[in-house]
Amino acid sequence: MSSTSQPSSRAGAFVMALYLAFLILPIYWLVNMSLKTNFEINTTVSLWPNEITFEHYIKIFTDSSWYSGYINSLTYVALNTIISITLALPAAYAFSRYSFVGEKHLFFWLLSNRMAPPAVFALPFFNLYSAIGLFDTPWAVALAHCLFNVPLAVWILEGFMSGVPREIDETAAIDGYSFPRFFIKIFMPLIASGIGVAAFFCFMFSWVELLLARTLTATNAKPIAVTMTRTVSAAGMDWGLLAAAGVLTIIPGALVIWFVRNYIAKGFALGRV
Amino acid sequence: MDKPVNNAAWLLVAPVFLIVAFSAILPIMTVVNYSVQDTFGNNQFFWNGLGWFQELLDPTTELGGRFLDALWRNLLFSAIILAIEVPLGILVALSMPRDGWKVAATLVIMALPLLIPWNVVGTIWQVFARADIGLGGWAINALGIDYNYTGDPLAAWITIVVMDVWHWTSLVALLCYAGLKSIPDAYYQAARIDGASRWAIFTTIQLPKMKRVLLIAVLLRFMDSFMIYTEPFVLTGGGPGNATTFLSIDLVKIALGQFDLGKAAAMSLVYNLIVLALCWVFYTVMTNAGTERRHEENPA
């Protein structure tokens, strides 16, 4: 965009290089450790493995208690993203197009739930989901994460929808479109990138959260992040296995980022620039 | 241009209202219920009135002292990371490459820490900063500086702050970058004709355009650092001693560790009220900034 205008500088490139190195170094170290034997990890500090081993990865992919953790995590993340977006779409439309009784208070209340500390909700959620029989299912975690993901999705979608001129709604009404048909056929394609961004954020915050996911599951729906805490055994920490599991949890996020890379900047501004 | 009044819009909002109410109001009712009772186990509860709240807000009691310590620690932590992440994020945003594949590659690497589960962030820094097996900890000790984050409170604090900077600066940077991208080229050309210095361009063109996104960044970063739990829990477990026990860590210790439901519930409510009050302040500031902007663009 501003290729000619901003005074580009070597200092800028230098800052960027340092920053990226700072970001990559700890991740590099994790990958490095996951390819070492535990003996090597505990005895030497070396920049690359003397002897590359895939034993930790093989263990994860052959032990069902490990890989089912990944499946459980992805299940509740997907459920949560679908629920959040489906419910948030009409609400965001209402906020962006109409004013109604209690509009401002409702919006603030929604937003305040995005900011509420999950630690406050851990115990009551445990009681609530045990009482209704959803404890230890992916549904419990998916619904619990709605607490912060639904308000966030509403907030993001409202930003993108407000960027669409209201004349489009009116023209569609004159042309005889019913509201649901207009919404699905005309309006949703117009804010497709906004829906993508909202889905990305729901994925992100549901995928990275641990406190509620840990509290609401026991054995059947245990997420991968919790399985990882098992690597402490009588023989000490299994660092190699822990590192390999860590590397595998980075991959889904990296894939998602790759697909949305062209929308990242606008997306992080929540459609508000 | 004002939005038309239509109370039927509540029908569109109702599903969201119901699901958030289910997840927010019902649990809060449980918390309120616990907060006025005491228990000696066996599911027997006794009325305790406002006893827990009085204890919580009185710094001379064990509970009150511990709560205020954690609150103070948490505010200090939020202040430190904001003071580092906001300027650093702006600097990184200004240093973004201009175009081509470099932009995409940089964006992908920058977004990577944001998508790593929070306990894995803790694990990454644990294996990186440990003096015996971690590259970072090992290197610092090799330079002759005695560094051990599991034993030394200051080292633990520095490690957690560096970890948070690593984890979240990209969010601030990406927001600022989006703000910068929205500045039309003409602004820069005009500045060049006027012979404006680099600093003048920053303070009069770039910073005002970033104001709105910076507010979002500060809001998100403040709130998220105020409820930080998982990363320090994995890295230090709140230690050494209580040096890095932030509000959420303390709350979970009381609630799920000691099962002191009354105390934990009272603390939850006060904690939540503080967050709500701060959130309201930010929201008001943000909404006002939004209205100002609309007035600037369409002076009536």
Search chain A and give the residue with CA nearest B251: A119
pLDDT, mean of each 10-residue run, chain A (273 residues): 51 89 92 85 78 84 82 92 94 91 86 81 85 89 91 87 88 89 90 86 88 84 75 68 88 85 69 58
- The average pLDDT across B223-227 equals 88
- The average pLDDT across B157-166 equals 94
Q: Does A179 touch chain B (CB under 8 A)?
A: no
Bridge partners, residue B46, by sequence: B38
ipTM of the complex: 0.82
In angstroms, the CA A241 to CA B123 distance is: 12
State whether B247 and A5 contact (CB < 8 Å). no
Answer yes or no: are the C-beta atoms of B174 and B111 closer than 8 Å: yes
Which residues from B are below 8 Å from A243, CB to CB? 123, 127
A127 — phi, psi (to 5°)? -65, -50
Identify the CA nearest to A141 among candidates A84, A198, A218, A80.
Answer: A80
pLDDT, tens digit (0-9, with 9 covering 90-100), for B13-58 = 899 999 888 888 888 888 888 788 776 665 666 677 777 787 777 7
Q: What is the mean pLDDT of chain A?
A: 84
Q: Does B5 touch chain A (CB under 8 A)?
A: yes
Minimal C-alpha gap between B10 and chain A (Å): 7
Q: Does B230 touch chain A (CB under 8 A)?
A: yes
State whether B123 and A47 contact (CB < 8 Å). no
Percentage above 70 pLDDT, chain B: 92
Distance, CA of A123 to chain centre: 23
Confidence of residue B227 (pLDDT cuts 50, 70, 90): confident
CB-based burial of residue B83 (10 Å sphere; 0-12 exposed, 13-18 middle, 19+ buried)? exposed
Encode burial over A139-154: b for 16+ CB neighbours within 10 A, e otherwise.
Answer: bbbbbbbbbbbbbbbb
What are the C-alpha distances in Å from A262 to residues A153, A205, B178? 20, 20, 12
User: What are the counts of helices (DSSP H) followed by strands (DSSP E) for chain B?
Assistant: 13, 2
Q: What share of chain A is helix, strand, coil (3-state, %, to 5)?
A: 75, 0, 25
Minimal C-alpha gap between B95 and chain A (Å): 4
Predicted local confidence at residue A78, as pLDDT: 94
Angle between helix axes B153-181 and A10-34 (nearest 10 degrees) is 130
Predicted local confidence at residue A265, as pLDDT: 67
Identify the CA nearest to A59 among candidates A226, A219, A241, A232.
Answer: A241
pLDDT, tens digit (0-9, with 9 covering 90-100), for B73-90 = 999 999 999 999 999 999
What does the DSSP 8-state code read for residue A99?
B
Predicted local confidence at residue B179, as pLDDT: 83
Question: Which uninterrupted H or E stretch holds B38?
Answer: strand B37-39
State whether B127 and A23 contact (CB < 8 Å). no
Q: Does B31 touch chain A (CB under 8 A)?
A: yes
Confidence of residue B168 (pLDDT cuts 50, 70, 90): very high
pLDDT, tens digit (0-9, with 9 covering 90-100), for B287-298 = 776 666 555 555
Minimal C-alpha gap between B213 and chain A (Å): 6
In angstroms, the CA B229 to CA B218 distance is: 19
Identify the CA nearest to B135 among candidates A50, A238, A42, A46.
Answer: A46
Minimal C-alpha gap between B24 and chain A (Å): 7
State whether A27 and B124 contact (CB < 8 Å). yes
Instruction: Give the 3-state secondary structure of residue B46.
Output: strand
Q: Does A225 touch chain B (CB under 8 A)?
A: yes
Identify the CA nearest to B246 among candidates B256, B258, B259, B237.
Answer: B237
State whether A208 and B116 contact (CB < 8 Å). yes
Which residues from B are below 8 Å from A11, CB to CB? 95
pLDDT, tens digit (0-9, with 9 covering 90-100), for B105-156 = 888 899 899 989 888 899 899 889 888 888 888 888 888 888 888 888 898 9
In angstroms, the CA B99 to CA B97 distance is: 6
- The average pLDDT across B204-228 equals 85
In angstroms, the CA B249 to CA B235 distance is: 12
In angstroms, the CA A78 to CA A76 distance is: 5
State whether A253 and B92 contact (CB < 8 Å). no
State whether B174 and A209 contact (CB < 8 Å). no
Which residues from A are below 8 Å from B120, CB to CB? 225, 228, 246, 249-250
Q: What is the mean pLDDT of chain B?
A: 84
Minimal C-alpha gap between A193 and chain B (Å): 15
Which residues from B are below 8 Å from A88, CB to CB? 16
Which residues between 46 and 75 in chain A have a beta carbon less than 8 angstroms from any beta carbon of chain B? 47
Sign, CA torsion B144/B145/B146/B150: negative
Q: Does A6 touch chain B (CB under 8 A)?
A: yes
Token look-up 């560096």 returns: B162
Search chain A and give the residue with CA nearest B5: A99
Structure tokens of A147?
């607490």
Q: Does A236 touch chain B (CB under 8 A)?
A: no
Encode burial over B38-68: b for 16+ CB neighbours within 10 A, e otherwise.
Answer: beeeeeeeeebeebbbebbeeeeeebbebbe
Q: Is the pLDDT of residue B242 over 90?
A: no
Predicted local confidence at residue A19, as pLDDT: 93
Q: Does A118 touch chain B (CB under 8 A)?
A: yes
State whether A124 and B6 contact (CB < 8 Å). no
> CATH homologous superfamily of domain B9-297?
MetI-like (1.10.3720.10)
Bridge partners, residue B181, by sequence: none
Give this prediction's pTM. 0.85
Answer yes or no: are the C-beta atoms of B145 and B151 closer than 8 Å: no
Domain boundaries, chain B: 9-297
Domains of chain A: 9-53 (no CATH), 61-268 (1.10.3720.10)
Which residues from B are below 8 Å from A266, CB to CB? 178, 181
Residue A244 one-letter amino acid:
A
Answer yes or no: are the C-beta atoms of A132 and B38 closer than 8 Å: no
Question: Which uninterrupted H or E stretch holds A237?
Answer: strand A236-237
Give the largest Cα separation in chain A, rounded. 76
Which residues from B are below 8 Å from A146, CB to CB? 19-20, 23
Structure tokens of B27?
């649990």
